[in-house]
Structure 1
Amino acid sequence: MLDTESQKSPKGRWPTPPFDPRFPNQNQTRNCYQNFLDYHRCVKKMNRHGKSTQPCEYYLRVFQSLCPRSWVQRWTEQIQDGTFAGKI
């Protein structure tokens, strides 16, 4: 699991996401999508176990900084409609 303390930035600052060796290329589309999925999987798991979703905020911050808002909005609507193609 991620060390959330080392990933935190000073209060109020939202830096660029750290390097992820799974996505070494300039095109960060897959990184955006994977972090979106990871966030929703994390929230689902934490809610199922009755725990705080605070550790999932890392994924939220990363996908919010990498993904265009229109993609996130469309994916969220698809999740609500039950038509999202990803496995959450």
Structure 2
Amino acid sequence: MTVKDIIAEKLHAAFAPDRLDVTDESHLHAGHMGHRPEGETHFRVHIVSQAFEGKSRIDRHRMINATLAAELAGSVHALALKALTTAEANKTH
């Protein structure tokens, strides 16, 4: 199982998202701190979930970081997050 798959699986289990996009952007960071030739170090996550209702942006990021603590302590060097509620996501469309 890839790191991307592990991230997606954990976020699905924790937040039952309406939408989840996990993108491995490691190739964009070649030569930068934390990059490994085999990749799977830099990820971008866009998640839409009712679990974020009433939570601040910082609280949402903390919730996600707690869910992915093992990955962040290990192979993942960078994680860019966009975490919205369903209502917020619908406003942007």
Q: TM-score, normalised by structure 2?
A: 0.31
Structure number having the greater helix percentage: 1
Normalized per residue, the structure richer in strand is 2
- Give the alignment's TM-score, normalised by structure 1: 0.32
